[in-house]
Structure 1
């Protein structure tokens, strides 16, 4: 039985709706369902009565929830006392990133618990991030590609899918999936970081063509606006789309890419043996247990 399972259960029990709980927790519904199922397997009983898409907390679930809420209340009280003693909330955490798609949800959840922790973030290429990590300029790096070195420890956080954005008036509007080769003649709009360009180019080459990248930007919302105006198509990460879809979905259509495999793994790198402040340690632990 893991703390993350208990936190997920508490949210599902409060909302009694798996989709809403997944949205609130910023996780996918299948991942949330698997976590709840593992908790029920650990306990040996079902905690919810399921009927179609509806779920209701059953008698086992109600008993478990009442004890869990008391336990969480005690843990929160202990956490507050420890923070007071350790001065955790006065810390500064420095993070290097190659892509910001994963960061908003992480920071939002962490800062809700530790509002006085301050963050510095640096958007750089993996090569520069590795140098910053080795020089002690950042506590750790979040990257779409492993940052390697004899003194560097790399840990996978999550695997996300790359999706394709097209205008709502596009010929693909009635489809949910696409082969990447079908947009070989389209203009591409891309994030301007060097790694993203290389990653996208590699995917297109795998599909048999070289992308014609006509526009670059550094803001997913601006790129979405460009796509909606018919200036081109664009890749978007699953996590980024989840963050901006409410603002853009009426003007854009998103397609899952059937071929080639357009997934990427996001992970975190830290320097082995390097001392981390209490705030940095807390965020690292939170981050590696978030997904």
Structure 2
């Protein structure tokens, strides 16, 4: 059994397509097929079910895939650890967020203070972040609500209030605090369904005893601000985004129910963490501790 066989098997197992796998690996299809066949011969069992040109992982293949993924990840971590010890690694940190605007000021400060660290940021859904952590594709993700899943560790670094934004002409424009039930019949401007912020605000309304009357759905909070200025409805607004949005509307605190959200920076449990990654995690946590 060779390391190259494992890399080839992993690619075929992920794609379940010999031709596509060969193209991505940039090798000839017959050579790839022979490599997989030799691996199966070494193991003494078939790893795929073959029907014509179709290929699917069988029960042996699924079990073996889990072990191969872990083995290759450990080998990669070992390589990085050795490079760190030999002071050969030039810092790299891979981070995923739901939006590129998420704590961009803190991230920019880190880049400015650590120009030697290469920080690569990608945008991903909450589900994608978990998968990317587990696959070793990213080092950290910024998420809310905190990920509660075995094998993933995290540090909660910020809890913010969720306020109610209302147009200047709204009957509660001069109120400081309200009970959410008081706006049960008002038209709401909301983030689209499927976004974790939307799920959270729907839950707030449910706790207050009503389903929001949604008049408009948008992709981002900046768009929410636009429709608020038009005066067509009211909206939930995160405290940390207020300064980043032109506030031509009024903000009201919600006394009941408690409307807050907690952010977490998460990483894979037990995974080797490079010097650059440790620097980033410590800087990120410290930035918010000092703000309290």
TM score, norm. by length of structure 1 = 0.63
Which residue of the partner structure matches residue 242 of structure 1?
A: 243
Match of 1:281 among 269, 278, 281: 278
Contact 1:92 1:120 in 2 (8 A): no
The 3 A distance-change label for structure 1 pair 202 and 174 is same
Structure 2 gaps, min length 5 = 1-85
Contact 1:99 1:144 in 2 (8 A): no
User: Residue 280 of structure 2 aligns to a residue in which SS?
Assistant: helix
**Mapping of 1:207-226 within 5 angstroms?**
207-226=208-227
2-side partners of 1:136 and 1:164: how far apart?
39
Which residue of the partner structure matches residue 149 of structure 2?
A: 149
Structure 1 gaps, min length 5 = 1-84
1-side partners of 2:111 and 2:231: how far apart?
38
Count of residues in correspondence between the two structures:
201
Which residue of the partner structure matches residue 136 of structure 2?
A: 136
2-side partners of 1:225 and 1:110: how far apart?
32
**Mapping of 1:147-226 within 5 angstroms?**
147-192=147-192, 193-226=194-227
What is the CA-CA distance between 1:139 and the residue it aligns to?
1.0
The 3 A distance-change label for structure 1 pair 275 and 124 is same
Q: Kindly provide the CA deviation profile for residues 219-241 of structure 1, in whole angstroms up to 9, marking residues without a partner as x.
A: 32221011110122111111111
Which residue of the partner structure matches residue 254 of structure 1?
A: 251
What is the CA-CA distance between 1:134 and the residue it aligns to?
0.7
Q: RMSD value over aligned CA atoms? A: 2.3
User: Residue 145 of structure 1 aligns to a residue in which SS?
Assistant: coil
What is the CA-CA distance between 1:99 and the residue it aligns to?
5.8
User: Residue 105 of structure 1 aligns to a residue in which SS?
Assistant: helix
2-side partners of 1:160 and 1:279: how far apart?
28
TM score, norm. by length of structure 2 = 0.63
User: Residue 289 of structure 1 aligns to a residue in which SS?
Assistant: helix
